[in-house]
């Protein structure tokens, strides 16, 4: 594995140089928020920040995307084109929790039997540059409780670790190694590896939140009708903030739009928190209240995904905790389930 040492003040310039040849998505300040977005010409990415408000999953799984176009003719409906083209890109500054979410989404969108060509193509053409958390940014971070850690390389093609005056750049995949030329010639030595080990150990110690996420699956297996589900949903507004900011939530709706004889099929993000998410044409809704919807959210992340893929569908980023307008805390819910 290739490794390089780069000066801290050189990092933004490296990203700008990559951006001269490739599309780069990176954290930038937009009004009061830090968001992942495509860098415009001359725009510099943030290299010092806590985390972005939005998860970077939209690079591979856009909020709204055209799946195909069609036209109505006298002979019937004809397919015009499929918008599956995707340019090569770099996704820079991804925190390890968010990079790990890509591994979890891969399990769903790139299965042996079921494959999503739109997601897979974007994923294959994008190089993920992860920036490890030398100091976990929030008290709500709980990545170590769900199988991650602040310096985890899962999902990253290049992993950057803050060693003080320099970054250690580790090129984790062939995609990452294609960008080695941008990172200079200062190869990392054993001393850098040992320093990284110390940084990783300290960062893990600084994680303040610990929840029994790995322990609740057997409890959920036998408590679908437990009275507990009546206790967690009352103040939920069904706003969908938790699902739209979550790095691993992936529910979507597909709709057709037509103007005269031209049509297009769209895939749009959806949310299991919305009342109409499961409403059927007949008017029947198998999840009629927030009780059933919140039960589904918890079951999906900590039981169903484990059943299907042997992985918890949560990376412990804490966004749903920080941005819920009524302070519903998934950490407390998981802890309470562990006591059933």
270 vs 86: CA distance, rounded Å:
23
CB 331 within 8 A of CB 339: no
Mean pLDDT of the chain: 95
> Would you place residue 126 in the very low, low, confident or very high pLDDT band (cuts 50, 70, 90)?
very high
Cβ atoms within 10 Å of 258's Cβ, excluding its own: 11
167 vs 5: CA distance, rounded Å:
6
Find, among 97, 67, 64, the residue nearest to 80 by Cα. 67
Element (H, E) at 160: strand 158-162
Tell me: pLDDT of 146 over 90: yes
Burial 51-70 (b: 16+ CB within 10 A, else e): bbbbbbbbbbbeeebbbeeb
Tell me: pLDDT of 186 over 70: yes
pLDDT in tens, 289-312: 999 999 999 999 999 999 999 999
CB 17 within 8 A of CB 9: no
Could you give the residue ranges of the DSSP H alpha helices within 206-310?
217-221, 241-245, 290-299, 305-309
Find, among 309, 134, 316, 137, the residue nearest to 211 by Cα. 316
């Amino acid at each position: 594995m290739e490794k390089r040492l780069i000066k801290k003040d050189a990092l933004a310039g490296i990203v700008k140089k990559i951006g001269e040849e490739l599309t780069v998505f990176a954290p930038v300040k937009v009004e009061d928020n830090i968001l992942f977005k495509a860098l415009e010409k001359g725009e510099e990415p943030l290299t010092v920040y806590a985390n972005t408000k939005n998860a970077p999953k939209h690079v591979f799984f856009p909020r709204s995307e055209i799946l195909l176009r069609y036209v109505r003719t006298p002979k019937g409906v004809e397919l015009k084109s499929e918008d599956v083209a995707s340019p090569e890109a770099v996704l820079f500054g991804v925190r390890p929790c968010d990079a790990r979410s890509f591994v979890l989404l891969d399990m769903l969108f790139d299965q042996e039997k079921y494959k999503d060509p739109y997601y897979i193509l974007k994923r294959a053409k994008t190089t993920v540059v992860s920036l490890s958390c030398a100091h976990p940014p929030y008290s709500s971070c709980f990545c170590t409780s769900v199988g991650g850690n602040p310096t985890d390389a899962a999902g990253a093609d290049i992993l950057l670790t803050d060693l003080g005056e320099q970054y250690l750049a580790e090129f984790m995949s062939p995609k990452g190694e294609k960008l080695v030329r941008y990172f200079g010639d200062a190869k990392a030595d054993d001393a850098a590896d040992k320093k990284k080990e110390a940084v990783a150990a300290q960062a893990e110690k600084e994680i303040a939140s610990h929840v029994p996420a790995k322990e609740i699956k057997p409890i959920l297996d036998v408590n679908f009708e437990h009275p507990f589900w009546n206790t967690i949903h009352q103040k939920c507004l069904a706003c969908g903030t938790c699902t739209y900011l979550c790095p691993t939530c992936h529910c979507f709706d597909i709709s057709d739009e037509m103007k005269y004889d031209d049509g297009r099929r769209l895939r749009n993000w959806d949310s299991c928190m919305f009342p109409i998410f499961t409403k059927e044409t007949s008017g029947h809704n198998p999840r009629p209240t927030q009780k059933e919807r919140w039960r589904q959210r918890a079951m999906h992340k900590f039981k169903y995904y484990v059943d299907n893929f042997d992985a918890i569908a949560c990376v412990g980023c804490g966004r749903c905790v920080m941005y819920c307008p009524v302070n519903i805390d998934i950490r407390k819910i998981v802890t309470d389930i562990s006591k059933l």
